[in-house]
Structure 1
Amino acid sequence: MTPREKPRIVTEHPDFYIVAKPALWLTHPVRARVDVPDVLTFLQRETGELAVSPPHRLDRETSGAQVFSRDTDSARRFFTLFKEHLVGKSYLAIVHGSPEWDETTLDAPLGFVGLTGSNRIQIRQGVVPDGKPAATEFKVVGRKPGFTLLHAFPRSGRLHQIRAHLHHLGLPMVGDKIYGRDPDVFLAFMQTGQTSDLTRRLLLPRQALHAHSLSFGWDGGQVRVEVPLAGDLAAFWEGLPQG
C-alpha cells in the first residue's frame, strides 16, 4: 500500500477546513520522515494559505476526518475546544474477535507499561493502576466470523487510547503493529519497513482505524461532519465471509 490517494477537503468554512485524511499520510512534516507526505504541506500548497494549521493530529496509519484552522484566531479557538474536551470524535475500527456485548464503556487508566521481557516496545500503552484517566465507549456496528466492526467514542484523549483499550478487551485491531495479535511485528517493521510478509501476518498494511466524525460548537451553531469508512477498510470488511 502506498500513499497515492490525496487528502480531500470535505468542508470549507471561512475559519477552518475539514479534510478526509488518507492512511499513510502524516498530519504535519516530520524531519525524520522526509519521504512521507503530510496533509499540512499539501493543504498549504493547494490553498495558498500558509496560516493553515492542525489543532489535532491523526496517526500516520489512521484515515478519516481531520480539522485544520485557517488563521491564528481560529487556531486559538480550536486549542481551547480541544483542551476542554469540547470536540466530539468517533472512530470506526475493525478488530479480531467478537465481543459478548453490543455496547460497553471501558473506564480504565492508561500509561506506559515499561520495557519488560514480554514488552520490547517503549511507547506501548496499557491499563496500569497509576495511569491517566481514560474512558472509551464502544458499539458494535457489524459482525462477521472472527471479526467485528466497532464504533469507538473516546471520552478522553490519551496516547493510543482506542488501540490500547481494545487490546485490554481482548479485541486487537486488525493491522495494528503495536497492539495487535503478533508482538514481534512492530520490531520487524522498524527494521525492514512494510513487507509483503508483514502485510500477510497483519492482514492489512495499516491499522484498521478510521476517524469517522467530528462535532463541535462554532459561532452559536453546531458543526458535525462524517467521513465514510476509507475504501481500503471498506473493501477488507466487505471481502470477509458472512459465515
Structure 2
Amino acid sequence: MTFPPTPPLFRPPLPSIVLEHPDFYVVNKPPMWLTHQGRGRVDVPNVLDYLKWELGEPELAPPHRLDRETSGAQLFSRDADAARDFFTLFKDRLLTKTYLTLVHGHPRWQSQTVDAPLDFLGLSESNAVIIRQGVVPGGKEALTRFEVLGKRVHPQHGALSLLAALPQSGRLHQIRAHLSELGLPMLGDKIYGRDPAAFVAFMDGTLSPQQHADLILPRQALHAWRLEFGWAGAQMRVEVPLSVDMAGVWREAG
C-alpha cells in the first residue's frame, strides 16, 4: 500500500521516535499537537493518528496524555498486553516523569516540595477561567518536587529560571498551579501566568500585541523531559532534549 504525501494537517514540526522497543515507542511530541484526537478538535494535528498513518500499527495507544501545548516524551504502547502493563505502572505510580519548565523569577531555594491539595477554584469576580485549579482545603492530594537547574537574566524579559518538576500525583494543571502557588509563573502560561486576563482574551481572539509579547512564548513553557520505569526486568530511562522554542529563550538569557 502506498501512502499519500504527508497531509497538510500533519504540519511540521512532526513527531519523531526517540526509542523503539518491541512493546512500545517513546515519541518526541511537538508543541501544539494533541496526544490523540479530542472531541471536536479535528482541526488540530494529533500524534496517535500520525503514528498510525506513518507506521501502519493500528493497535498503538497512549497510556498517558500530554496537554496540547506541552512538548516532549510521550509513550505509545504497541499492543493490548503492553497497554495493560502500562496501565498498572501508572496506577501503582511506578513510572517517574520529569518535566522541564521556564519560569519568571529566581527562587531562593535549590529544591522545594509542594504538598498542597488542588481543585477547581470556581468562577468569581477574581477568576473568569472555569478550569483554573488552585490550592483548596479538602481538595485532591497533589505533590510536586521542584529543582532549580539554572538561573539567568534575559536582556528583554528579566530574571528567568530553568526548573525540573517531578509530579508525584497527576492532577489537572498540577505543575502550573503549584508554580503559581510558589509565585513562579511559567512563561507562555495563559491561565496561571502573570496576566490573569490572558486566557479569556486568547479564547476570544482579542489577545493584544502587548499580551503576546509579555507571554514570551505562544505556548506554556513545559517540556516532558525524562521517563523512568521498569520493563521486562530492565530499568528504562529515556530523555528528550529540550524543545527548540524553550531552548532558544534560555540561550538568549545566557
Into which bin does the TM-score normalised by the smaller protein fall?
A: over 0.9
TM-score by length of 1: 0.95
Can you list the C-alpha shifts for 1:93-133, whole angstroms capped at 9, x where unaligned?
00011110011111111111111110010100011111111
User: Which stretches in structure 1 are left out of the alignment for 5+ residues?
Assistant: none
User: Residues of 1 paired with 2:209 and 2:23: CA distance?
Assistant: 42
1:65 shift after superposition? 0.3
User: Residues of 2 paired with 1:67 and 1:138: CA distance?
Assistant: 23
The residue type equivalent to 1:185 in the other structure is: A
Q: Which residue of 2 aligns with 1:11?
A: 19
User: Residues of 2 paired with 1:157 and 1:30: CA distance?
Assistant: 19
Q: 1:85 aligns with which of 93, 96, 103?
A: 93
Aligned partner of residue 26 in structure 1, secondary structure? coil
User: Residues of 2 paired with 1:43 and 1:171: CA distance?
Assistant: 36
Q: Which residue of 1 aligns with 2:229?
A: 216
Cα RMSD of the aligned pairs, angstroms, is: 1.5
Q: Which residue of 1 aligns with 2:198?
A: 185
Q: 2:179 aligns with which of 166, 182, 188?
A: 166
The residue type equivalent to 2:189 in the other structure is: D
The residue type equivalent to 1:32 in the other structure is: G
Write the mapping of 1:47-58 to structure 2, written as runs, cut at 5 A.
47-58=55-66
User: Residues of 2 paired with 1:239 and 1:207: CA distance?
Assistant: 18
Q: Which residue of 1 aligns with 2:156?
A: none
Per the alignment, do residues 213 and 34 of structure 1 end up closer, same or farther by CA in structure 2, a change over 3 Å counting? same
Q: 2:40 aligns with which of 32, 53, 78?
A: 32
User: Residues of 1 paired with 2:141 and 2:41: CA distance?
Assistant: 32
Aligned partner of residue 24 in structure 1, secondary structure? coil
Alignment length (residue pairs)? 240
Per the alignment, do residues 73 and 175 of structure 1 end up closer, same or farther by CA in structure 2, a change over 3 Å counting? same
Q: Which residue of 2 aligns with 1:109?
A: 117
Contact 2:198 2:207 in 1 (8 A): no
Contact 1:64 1:212 in 2 (8 A): yes
Q: Which residue of 2 aligns with 1:70?
A: 78
Per the alignment, do residues 231 and 25 of structure 1 end up closer, same or farther by CA in structure 2, a change over 3 Å counting? same
Displacement over 6 Å in runs of 4+: none
